Structure 1
Amino acid sequence: MDAEPPEEKDWTPEEIRERLRRRAAFLRDLEEQRALRRRVAPRRSRRARIHATLRSRTFRTE
């Protein structure tokens, strides 16, 4: 069973601009949401930071 390759579309400059505008808005919203989460739950984010540090130390070779 051969899978058909996805249809390639010729994007117009307007479509490209709109897509980039939507992507930028999404990334702004995502960063805003993450910042809000850090402010609302500082203990949780501190715990996550500590755990990430410990995980990185676990796999570090000296």
Structure 2
Amino acid sequence: MADRDRRQPDSRPETPADRAQTRTDPVREAPESDAERRHRRAQFLRELNEARELRDRVQPRRARAARMRQQLRMRTFRW
């Protein structure tokens, strides 16, 4: 009971939104270079591809159904 009395009246658990508001990102002097942007994009695409492969491994029935739908779309596509 004594611990509750010592807390501030409006103390509550910090939420991610609260942390985002209090976070201060350093201001960059120079804009991001093309090489940095390409590197970040390549990293993102690698992680995205890895996540898709993992999802396909853990949900084989859904992955097979998605492949079948894609094949059907490709067969019905008109050039």
Gaps of 5+ in 2: 1-30
Counterpart-to-counterpart distance in 2, 1:31 and 1:23: 12
Q: Report the aligned-residue RMSD.
A: 2.4
Q: Summarize the alignment of residues 15-54 of structure 1 with structure 2, pairs less than 5 Å apart.
A: 15-54=33-72
- What is the CA distance between 1:56 and its match in structure 2? 3.3
Q: How many residues align?
A: 50
Gaps of 5+ in 1: 1-11
Q: Which has the larger radius of gyration?
A: 2
Structure with higher helix content: 1
> TM-score if structure 2 supplies the norm length?
0.50
Residue 7 of structure 1 corresponds to which residue in structure 2?
none
Higher RCO by CA contacts (8 Å cutoff, separation 6 or greater): 1
Name the % identity.
58
